[in-house]
Each structure stands twice: as structure tokens, then as C-alpha cells.
Amino acid sequence: MNKTKIPVNEPYLGQREKELVNECLESGWISSAGKYIEKFENQFAEYCECAEGVTTTSGTTAIHLALKSLGVGPGDEVLVPAFTMVGSVYPIVQCGASPVFVDSEPDTGNMDIQDLESKITASTKVILIVHIYGHPADMDPICDLARSRNLKILEDAAEAHGALYKGRKAGSLGDVGCFSFYANKIITTGEGGMIVSNDKDLIKKARQLKDLAHGKIRFTHELPEAFNYRMTNIQAAIGLGQLERIEETVKKKIANAEQYSNLLKGVSCLKLPVCRPWARNVYWMYGVQLLDNDRFARDELMTALKNEGVDTRSFFYPLNTQKAFQGYGKQDCPKAEILGKQGFYLPSGQTLKPNQIQRVAEILVELLQA
């Protein structure tokens, strides 16, 4: 058998990115002062159906900047899924606020709305919603809840560029949306991030905080704290090139998922990803759950796949269970813990060929049904 490695994800960088990056190098505009920053902010915000965007250095710093711009600070609680990447949570702690972990829906992995509601207290300031693995959360009830309890909504759309909720773009549905452009994301700038919003005051605050709070007169500063979260012109150039193809990339992700689902639908011990009728799931990663079976535990199956040249990753280990956050008290999220134990994702990159997906599915079926 051909055991050439099939990677879990690889970025695709085209000719257009090279042209734009070369232009930066030739012109000498390599810092954040170049013209591509504003262009990328405007064009990505427009793609997200938002008035404005502010580039940052990562998805994590985008979330930090957004929380700070929302005024989150010591004494505040932020509701956040237990089942997410830690980049959603460290910024809460950096603001001096407390993360309150919310359990998950067993199929989409998104926040469980009943659990969310039960965890609101007088100290809750923000609902930090995550569109897990590219499936948008059910935003209408979350927005109703936030409105009725006077809470802000931050959408962590790091995994959901182009995802749609009832026809509207992920990132545009709450008060502020945050994106990551890390190399494995739907579009990349290598490292990088952006916040998008229709709230002009929030955007103004974010621009100030992101760039060392320079006043009208340079080297005058009025805020007691600020950051250097500036993206470079070179990164923005890559992002612009990627953005030109974003719909193509999203369609490829969806096609990959449809091919996997067709090939794997008969495997009774695999729970496949879902797509709610109102959603465009962009399948950032094609995540499956291994149910009880008499052949493999999840990690053994991942090792067996690796031995056949198929790279996979386990789902997130829920953050309520991690040592890092035990200082916030015992918080049970049993459904998130099940996801963390039985889930893993298959190769999901935009560069995958249909015959590679076919091969992954065949190996998986063979291992589970032999």
C-alpha cells in the first residue's frame, strides 16, 4: 500500500500572494504602515458584512483586543465554551476577568444554550460564542438572551470564515467578531487576526488600543495600557491574495466534507459532522466522533491511521478539565468532555485531492470494519 503521508491540513499560497508580497519587498513597505493593511481590513470587513475591520497579530490578540474594547475587566465573568481552543480563553484571563465554562451540543460541538442561560450571573458581561469547526452557533436565541440580560456578544469566528447563519455571515451577528489567519485557517496570513464590527466606537477604541494608544500628537498617550498588535503589510498582502479566492476555498472545504460523509455514512461507530438546515457549515475541519466499538479506542485508531500515512488530530481537551483553569472552581461540562474523548479530525485541507479523501475513507472503513 502507498503510505505517502496525507497531512491534516496544508495552506495554499498562489501566484497572487507572491505578486503582492513581492510588491511589498520591492517598495520597502514591510511594516504596518503599508497600503495593504487598510485594503485588507476594508475588503475582509466587507466580506463579513461588517462596517469595519481592525487587523491584529493573531486570533488570540483579536479576542483580547475585542474584550478590552468591550470594557471587560476584573470582577467580570465571560461565558465561554469549555470545548474550544485555548486562544478563546487566555484573553479573558488577561483582562483580569473570569471564564465561566459552558457545555456543548453533542453534534455541532457549539455551546448548549440551556446551559449558557443557567450560568448567567450578575457579574456576567460577555457571551463569547465560538463557531466550532466552521459550524455557526444558533445565534437568534443567543442574541435574544444577550439583549434581555444586557450582555455583549463576542463571536470567536477563528474557524468559521464564510460560515452563514440564516444567510448572514459569521462574525457579523454579535457586537464584535474575531478571526484568526493562522496557517491552517480558511484564509491565512501566516500568523494574524482581525476584529470586525458595525460599532464605530468599539472599532475606534480597538484601533487606539492596538497601536500603543498614540494620541493626535505622536508620542502622546492618554490610556494607562495599550498594545502593539500591529499586522505587517506583508501579512496583509498575503491575506488579500487569499481573500480573492475565499469562496473557492470554502466550496472546496464543503466538497471535501460531502465526499467524506458519502463514503463514511455506513460506518455505525462513527458519528459524522452535521449541518443544521439554517447553516452553511464551512467544515474548517472534518471532525468525527468514534463511538463505543470492540476494535479501537480513539487514540489507538489515530495511531493506526498514522501508521497508514493518514495524519489526524484529536478534538480539543475541554478547558474546564485543564490544570490551567482549576483556579476558577470546579466546573462540569459532561458533554464537552465526551466530545474531547471521542472526537478527532481527518485530513481537511483545501489542497486535498478527491483520491486522497477516498483513500483516507477506505483505510478508516477497513480498520473499523475488518
Which residues are at the interface with ligand PLP (CB under 6 A)? 58-60, 84-85, 87-88, 130, 156, 158-159, 180, 182, 193
CB–CB of 67/95 below 8 Å?
Answer: yes
Residue 199 CB burial class (10 angstroms; 0-12, 13-18, ≥19): middle
* Distance set, CA 304 to CA 160, 191, 255, 307 (Å): 30, 32, 26, 5
Minimum CB distance to ligand PLP, residue 130 (Å): 5
d(CA 111, CA 132): 9
29 or 316: whose CB is closer to ligand PLP? 316
260 or 316: whose CB is closer to ligand PLP? 316
11 or 309: whose CB is closer to ligand PLP? 11
d(CA 133, CA 347): 13
184 or 321: whose CB is closer to ligand PLP? 184
Angle between helices 233-244 and 36-47 (to 10 degrees): 40
Minimum CB distance to ligand PLP, residue 139 (Å): 16
Minimum CB distance to ligand PLP, residue 187 (Å): 12
Minimum CB distance to ligand PLP, residue 209 (Å): 17
347 or 361: whose CB is closer to ligand PLP? 347
d(CA 138, CA 281): 12
Minimum CB distance to ligand PLP, residue 355 (Å): 28
State the Cα angle at 261 between 259 and 265, rounded to 5°. Answer: 135
Minimum CB distance to ligand PLP, residue 296 (Å): 26
Nearest to 3 by CA among 218, 271, 307, 216: 307
Nearest to 51 by CA among 228, 241, 202: 202
59 or 136: whose CB is closer to ligand PLP? 59
Q: In sequence order, what are the beta bridge partners of 182? A: 190
112 or 308: whose CB is closer to ligand PLP? 112
Q: Which residue is nearest to ligand PLP (CB)?
A: 59
> Which spans in the chain are helix H?
15-27, 36-47, 59-69, 90-94, 113-118, 139-149, 200-210, 233-244, 246-264, 298-307, 334-342, 354-369
CB–CB of 359/3 below 8 Å?
Answer: no
Phi-psi group of 121: left, alpha or beta (phi > 0 → left; psi -120 to 50 → alpha; rest → beta): beta
Minimum CB distance to ligand PLP, residue 359 (Å): 26
Minimum CB distance to ligand PLP, residue 138 (Å): 17
CB–CB of 47/246 below 8 Å?
Answer: yes
58 or 69: whose CB is closer to ligand PLP? 58
